[in-house]
Structure 1
Amino acid sequence: MHADEAEIRPGLVRRLIAAQFPRWAGLPVERVASGGTVNAVFRLGDELAVRMPLTPGGAKDVDLEYEHLPRLAAGLPVPLPVPVPEPVAKGEPGPGYPWPWTVCRWLPGTVLPPDAGVAAPGPLAGDLAVFVNAMRAADPAGAPSSYRGGTLADRDAGTRAALALLRPGDGVDVPAVTAAWETALRAPAHTGPPVWLHADLSPGNILVTDDGRLGGVIDFGCMGLGEPAVDLIAAWNLFTGPAREAFRAAVAGGGGAGDEEAAWARGRGWALSISLIQLPYYRHTNPVMVASSRFVIDQVLADG
């Protein structure tokens, strides 16, 4: 997927575990199938997961998650409503691998298909809104800025560059999405303080239980402070129709969104921009990301 991507196989993970954490050396190592773009994930025994950054940029997330995930949970006025990754060890570079890496507790659950969406206004929309509201309410003191902590205007050049890379085979109505992007840019800017964000509430980062509830949220590599509308991307990443409206109603007023109409418009713009940039970048390398991006673009246009 990336020009600077490392090749990571189970044997390498076994060697690193044996050298650095011999207490886990006898546990089986199995790669987890994923459309993720930042880490290769391996299951280590029944209770642990190993996250191996694929690129130097992804390696920067190791310290971010290792330091701030426990601190974030401890600083909330109420506990996060669902489990999040619990780092238990930080690995160091070793023979055949140049960056730090993480061992976390394994969280059970399944991820949603990248292009299915949840239509029924059942518990998942409400559960995720509770999670977003809890993040927004967390103590911002000492928090880092999110990778997505800027404004839509900051993303304008990159979004328009991505629009120029779209091809007929991408199945995107370029004039329509350009108009949708320009509408989002006209939304009033957020004027309140920044809040804690997950900033990547996409299908691959949402764990769902067998009965359709939110079972966990993973991959906090984009977390930090930013404007509240960023986490509204879940509305178009995960939901359609009534479920989207249920999420919107449940998350409204949840800790700093300000003008709800403007925040919703900005959230739609964030979802659109992220997907437009992803689509041409992963066109030939990651069908999961391509399917997810097309789904989001279609939902944004349908909801506009």
Structure 2
Amino acid sequence: MRRLVARQFPRWADLPLRPVATSGWDNQTFHLGDRMSVRLPTAGEYALAVDKEHRWLPILAPRVPLRIPVPLAKGEPDEGFGFHWSIYEWLDGDPAGIDTIGDLVDFADSLATFLVALRQIDPTGGPEPGLHNWFRGGPLQVYDRQTQRAIEALDDRIPRDPVEEIWQLALLASWDCRPVWFHGDVAPGNLLVRDGALAAVIDFGTCGVGDPACDVAIAWTLLSGASREAFRARLDVDPGTWARGRGWALWKALVTYARALRRDHTAAVEARRVIDEVLTEYAESA
């Protein structure tokens, strides 16, 4: 990383460089000085997002009510690293969580307000669902086979009848409206909190234009009860979008649970918690 910066951006070569505390899966991330970050895609699929982010984030940033990353420079493949990479301005904050959020209802309202503003941006020419974002914004059917395999693998560890019912209802709730902008990975690690309030939304690698239901999954992965209701009310989504959002949350939790059973107890427990949230909310709404 030091060699890449020194060769391609010598004006920043003397700035201190250090890994961030939690780098994530899609990119390896570093602090560059005090005001910048460097992101290196970890595989060719993730590198597909680099050009997209440089093209669209400067357009999206002034149109949303929270800060989002703004690219400062795009690096070229070099020094044995085979992909384009990015330098961004650094955004301060802690990942969203029960221990960092002051008021979960206010947080949910702020997040929904951000997503409403994002969806109101002109989608003309925006990136449609594809490999660059793992088909976020497209139909859930693309993950049907994977979900069915996870259900089979989990067997009696989950209540299969209601799980399959929720999944089938999500598949049937098709999207037939005008495409809109979506983030694609509205997860706690991509939501930054300062002084207890939502301050920034990061990591737009899965963003695009299409069905925004994938952004609704946070209603089950982080929110619950009154905060979930506040989120839904501010977002003002139709029942079909809510059902598909529930399906996105269920798909990810099932797949994670099945993969983590023998390798990652913490991930398995969290995935099962999300499944239980989905089941409880669905039963209460019936």
- Taking structure 2 as the reference length, what is the TM-score of the superposition? 0.87
Q: CA RMSD in A?
A: 2.5
Aligned to 2:205: 221
Q: Which has the higher contact order (CA 8 A, sep 6+)?
A: 1
Q: Distance in 2 between matches of 1:163 and 1:122?
A: 32
Q: Distance in 2 between matches of 1:285 and 1:70?
A: 40
Q: Distance in 2 between matches of 1:226 and 1:269?
A: 16
Work out whether residues 150 and 255 of structure 2, in 8 Å CA contact, stay in contact via their aligned partners in 1.
Answer: yes
Pairing 1:180–2:151 present: no
Residues 193 and 53 of structure 1: is their aligned pair in 2 closer, same or farther, counting only changes over 3 Å?
same
Pairing 1:204–2:182 present: no
Read off the aligned partner of 2:212 and give its amino acid letter.
P
Q: 1:242 aligns with which of 213, 226, 233?
A: 226
Read off the aligned partner of 2:107 and give its amino acid letter.
L
User: Cα distance, 1:215 vs. partner?
Assistant: 0.6
- Percent sequence identity over aligned pairs: 42
Q: Distance in 2 between matches of 1:119 and 1:207?
A: 12
Q: How many residues align?
A: 277
Aligned to 1:140: 123
Aligned to 1:6: none
Mark the runs of 5 or more structure 2 residues left unpaired by the alignment. none
Work out whether residues 82 and 217 of structure 1, in 8 Å CA contact, stay in contact via their aligned partners in 2.
Answer: yes
Q: 1:195 aligns with which of 180, 201, 216?
A: 180
Read off the aligned partner of 2:64 and give its amino acid letter.
L
Aligned to 1:124: 107
Aligned to 1:109: 93
Q: Distance in 1 between matches of 2:262 and 2:47?
A: 24
Work out whether residues 118 and 240 of structure 1, in 8 Å CA contact, stay in contact via their aligned partners in 2.
Answer: no
Q: Distance in 1 between matches of 2:2 and 2:263?
A: 26
Q: Deviations over 1:131-156 (max 9, x none)?
A: 11011101011111133121122321
Pairing 1:153–2:141 present: yes
Read off the aligned partner of 2:254 and give its amino acid letter.
L
Residues 103 and 302 of structure 1: is their aligned pair in 2 closer, same or farther, counting only changes over 3 Å?
same
User: Cα distance, 1:288 vs. partner?
Assistant: 7.2
Residues 111 and 287 of structure 1: is their aligned pair in 2 closer, same or farther, counting only changes over 3 Å?
farther
Work out whether residues 34 and 204 of structure 1, in 8 Å CA contact, stay in contact via their aligned partners in 2.
Answer: no
Aligned to 2:59: 71
- Taking structure 1 as the reference length, what is the TM-score of the superposition? 0.82
Read off the aligned partner of 1:183 and give its amino acid letter.
L
Query: Going by fraction, where is helix more abundant, 1 or 2?
Result: 2
Residues 155 and 111 of structure 1: is their aligned pair in 2 closer, same or farther, counting only changes over 3 Å?
same
* Structure 1 runs of 4+ with >4 Å offset: 115-121, 171-176, 281-292
